Amino acid sequence: MELKLLTYLVVGASFALYIGIAIWSRAHTTGDFYIAGKGVSPIANGMATAADWMSAASFISMAGLIAFLGYDGSVYLMGWTGGYVLLALFLAPYLRKFGKFTVPEFIGERFYSRTARVVAVICLIVVSFTYVAGQMRGVGIVFSRFLEVDVTVGLIIGMGIVFTYAVLGGMKGVTYTQVAQYCVLIFAYTVPAIFIAIQITGNAIPQLAFGSEVTGAGISLLDKLDDIVTSLGFNQYTDGTKSRIDVFCITLALMMGTAGLPHVIVRFFTVPKVRDARISAGYALLFIAVLYTTAPAVGAMARYNLINTMQPGEVGSVDGNLAYSDRPEWFNTWEKTGLLKFEDKNGDGRVQYYNDASDEFQDSAQKFGWQGNELFVDRDIIVLANPEIAKLPNWVIALVAAGGIAAALSTAAGLLLVISAAISHDIVKGIFLPNISDRRELLAGRIAAAVAIVVAGYLGFDPPGWVAQVVAFAFGLAAASLFPAILLGIFFKRVNKEGAIAGMLTGLVFTYGYIEYFKGLFLKWAGSPWGENVTEQWLFGISPEGIGALGMLLNISVAMIVSYATAAPPQHVQELVEHIRIPRGG
């Protein structure tokens, strides 16, 4: 069957499934809408958390990033999984015992302050909108490439689907849709990986194929990859270019950020018991690990396939490079999207793909008659183009499209829900209308969700950068603001209102300011970024991606100093801390 038709069928069927689930699991109370009535089993919650968590960045961008970064890509692998250990050990069980609806609600009660609650809402909204902008761009890419519709139309369709099940079903609808979305996305991710692993190494398990010998080459995939990338002037695959301190800080910021992301934390409010919250974090990470251990294998194999396609013969020989007129079909289709570009700089009609920034390779390139790298590959297309590069059947390609959309939609829905809960529960009920009825609060939640979807869609038209990078900043912000506040609230009884507020503001302002200064985020209209984004300019050599780690330390230091300089928290708050620390009674 023709690819386009097949893709419409597969994606359409997945949409029908999501909407069916949403109608079946409509929310009737605010409890259903915010935390799915606390009735979700730990395994289902683990699956939903995994889908909620694995965004367009994980599905579409991560393997592509790793393919080009090599070892440096490890920051995403460790950073986006290690945070679950922090969640399980430091946050999830205690927040479940607390047993309310939102993260700002915890911060507001623990620090007995409306101001703290409002500051937490601001942190939450900044973090969530930064993140959601990345998702919307992911939806746009998938729609424009596979369904060949305009990005705008794609975004509107995506918004419509999320609108239906997030507004109708609230947390309950979103949770069960996410379970289905997890199944779709993990199947879509692993199937092509297995096919490609067999093609290259004959080993069907990508995690093992990654270290296996390339069929007929007598050398392992990673060694072979190191050889061919260095022969084209690129950095060795298994070695990095980032400094040690930067790798350390980025990993740390991503881990703390993971543990501080409101849409992930709130998932642990939905299980029946404290012990379920702990084990549920384990299931979540197990389901996530299926994709996260496959991704580096996909990255390595994709890089290998890409270079082999462009450089089928010996480096330097005239017919060693792919002739543009012989280019494969996928080359053609991706060129149309502008995400793959070829420019014949030396006019020989062949594709030279190499690292023209490498000084050592300059001489060889000159000798070969190469006049610069001629191929531009957007990293975001690696996973999507991978099945085509490996010549897999059309149904696999259609499946990958549905998987990418599932990943983006599930995360977007989770994010929109925490934004709407923060507005209807923390702002409308918590601040302005404390006596609002349950039914009217539910209505307010639905309206807030609808408004948030429109804003997110708007951000999707003009996203501030590419998917994984934008998302990486959301982590830095969460690491520097929400994570320390919650951690201190549970583990240090002495931390008071003044300390927590000062800490959160310091962390948020410092981290946001640093990112805006070097990268430009929301203030591009005012001329940001103002600084030159190079190692020499960075504070202690830490990049904007890793600065959240420093923001987190600042937050904790400021919170501690200010707390000890001011009065201890009142008795009832100290009792609240005692209460959440033990699973039963208290």
How is residue 121 written in tokens?
A: 């809402």
Task: Report the residue number, 224 or 379, with the smaller CB distance to other proteins.
Answer: 224
Place of tokens 């030396």: 346
Task: Report the residue number, 242 or 497, with the smaller CB distance to other proteins.
Answer: 242
How is residue 150 written in tokens?
A: 């305009």
Task: Report the residue number, 210 or 269, with the smaller CB distance to other proteins.
Answer: 210
- Three-class secondary structure of residue 412 per DSSP: helix
Query: Which residue intervals of 311-393 are DSSP H helices?
Result: 329-337, 362-368, 382-389
Task: Report the residue number, 15 or 475, with the smaller CB distance to other proteins.
Answer: 475
Q: Which residues pair with 578 in a beta bridge?
A: none
Task: Quote the least distance from Cβ 144 to other proteins, whole Å.
Answer: 31
Task: Quote the least distance from Cβ 368 to other proteins, whole Å.
Answer: 30
The sign of the dihedral angle between the CA atoms of 458, 464, 469, 472 is negative
Nearest CA to 471 out of 188, 136, 158 is that of: 136
Q: Which residues pair with 340 in a beta bridge?
A: 377
Task: Quote the least distance from Cβ 254 to other proteins, whole Å.
Answer: 11
Residues that bind other proteins (CB under 8 A): 66, 71, 73-74, 77-78, 81-82, 84-85, 88-90, 93, 207-208, 210-213, 220-223, 238, 244, 247-248, 251-252, 273-275, 278-279, 281-282, 285-286, 289, 292-293, 296, 578, 581-586
Cis peptide before 529 (omega within 30 of 0): yes
Task: Report the residue number, 211 or 529, with the smaller CB distance to other proteins.
Answer: 211
Please state, in angstroms and rounded to a whole number, the distance separating the CA atoms of residues 102 and 108. Answer: 10
Task: Quote the least distance from Cβ 569 to other proteins, whole Å.
Answer: 17
Task: Quote the least distance from Cβ 491 to other proteins, whole Å.
Answer: 9
Task: Quote the least distance from Cβ 159 to other proteins, whole Å.
Answer: 33
Task: Quote the least distance from Cβ 246 to other proteins, whole Å.
Answer: 10
Please state, in angstroms and rounded to a whole number, the distance separating the CA atoms of residues 35 and 488. Answer: 24
Task: Report the residue number, 279 or 416, with the smaller CB distance to other proteins.
Answer: 279
Distance of CA 387 to the CA centre of its chain: 22
Please state, in angstroms and rounded to a whole number, the distance separating the CA atoms of residues 415 and 7. Answer: 27
- Cβ atoms of residues 556 and 484 within 8 Å: yes
Task: Report the residue number, 69 or 427, with the smaller CB distance to other proteins.
Answer: 69
Please state, in angstroms and rounded to a whole number, the distance separating the CA atoms of residues 123 and 265. Answer: 14
Q: Are strands 340-342 and 375-377 parallel, antiparallel or unpaired?
A: antiparallel
Task: Quote the least distance from Cβ 274 to other proteins, whole Å.
Answer: 6
Helices vs. strands in the chain: H and E counts, helices first: 25, 2
Task: Report the residue number, 52 or 246, with the smaller CB distance to other proteins.
Answer: 246
Task: Quote the least distance from Cβ 286 to other proteins, whole Å.
Answer: 5
- Cβ atoms of residues 239 and 70 within 8 Å: yes
Task: Report the residue number, 212 or 506, with the smaller CB distance to other proteins.
Answer: 212
